[in-house]
Amino acid sequence: MRDNMQRGLQAYYARAFPDKPGLQVKGLVSIPASWENVMYAFDVEYGPTVDRQREALVLRLYPGGEAHVKAAHEFYSMRRLHTAGYPVPYVHLLERTNSPLGAPFVIMERVAGQTVGPLVLKAHWGRQRELLTHCCALLVQLHRLDWRPFGADMAGAETP
């Protein structure tokens, strides 16, 4: 099944980005610990043999009822957050209705690192305080953003 998914993803991604010659999807692996979706990490390689480019990406599949709406909300919210300068992964693609993978999905950049919970629990007290302070600062920054661009058009999530 994973091989079929990887082939379907590769064909889809190659159609979406015809300017990336020789495109290959590699290393598709499941990412555990997702809440409302199924996540996979993968790499895309493209370009001439002597100068291959590589992108680290994440695929988020949205199962269940209204999955196409959930995928669109996440895509457009993250695009707006990125445009506003908030540190979120860049979202590359949204597929709501013609998914070759059997469910709506979003493809975004993959950020190297760890989830904050285990990182904080394993850190010494001073580092825990530093990490929690940083997380709180990010929440403050998020809540200081003008909310109006995020409310516009979200009912249908059709416009970027």
* DSSP classification of residue 103: S
Cα within 13 Å of Cα(5), Cβ side:
18
SS (H, E, C) 44-56: EEECCHHHCEEEE
C-alpha to C-alpha distance for 18 and 36, rounded to whole angstroms: 31
Residue ranges and CATH numbers for the domains of the chain are 2-113 (3.30.200.20)
pLDDT one-digit tens code per residue, 59-116: 999 988 889 999 999 999 999 999 999 999 999 999 998 888 989 999 999 998 888 8
C-alpha to C-alpha distance for 31 and 6, rounded to whole angstroms: 15
Q: What SS3 class is residue 62? A: coil
C-alpha to C-alpha distance for 157 and 150, rounded to whole angstroms: 10
CB 20 within 8 A of CB 47: yes
pTM: 0.84
